[in-house]
Amino acid sequence: ANIGNENRTDNTDRSAYLAREEDFVSDVIEANSEELALLRQGSKKGTDPELKSQAQEMISEHEKIDRDMRAYANKNNFRLDGVDTTNMININKKSGNEWDEEWADEVGDRHRAMIRRFDRAQNRIQDTELKEIISEALPSMRSHLDKTEKLEVKLDVKADR
């Protein structure tokens, strides 16, 4: 009788882990798609050459995160039908340096939130494959944040002139 109870507990624990992983993956896919929309806007609408270049670089890295997360979700039969990836981010009606400055602030905020989410997940996620995806993505996200923070300072100085 004890063996059956232990297996039931293991299955219940496994179900809880899978639900947590599924929530994390779907949240990341949705947040990442919003960020991709923002990055694409930056590459098109940005006026600062460094901003445009950074946006383009980040797009390819965020597309990889999206591919990796979707592949993991598909492999694990996670339902993604509730995930909204049609997001169009509209920062503001401003243009020029004001728009660039607002864009950099928004990208910085989103990267900080995504890094916090990934850091927390590293301690909570059980699946080694998902942990590997997280570990692989974190250094590029931290690099993006570092570059974005430097860009924010540069654009703030430019705005003060």
pLDDT at 54: 96
Taking the chain (161 residues) in consecutive chunks of 10 residues, what is each chunk's mean pLDDT? 44 68 92 91 93 96 96 91 64 81 93 96 91 96 96 83 62
Residue type, 9: T
> Rounded CA gap, 97 and 95, in Å?
7
Question: 32 to each of 6, 48, 55, how far by Cα in Å?
Answer: 38, 23, 14
pLDDT at 6: 41
DSSP classification of residue 50: H
21 touches 130 (CB < 8 A): yes
pLDDT at 24: 94
99 touches 45 (CB < 8 A): yes
pLDDT at 113: 95
- What are the tokens at 51? 């901003």
State whether the Cα torsion 55-60-65-70 is positive or negative: positive
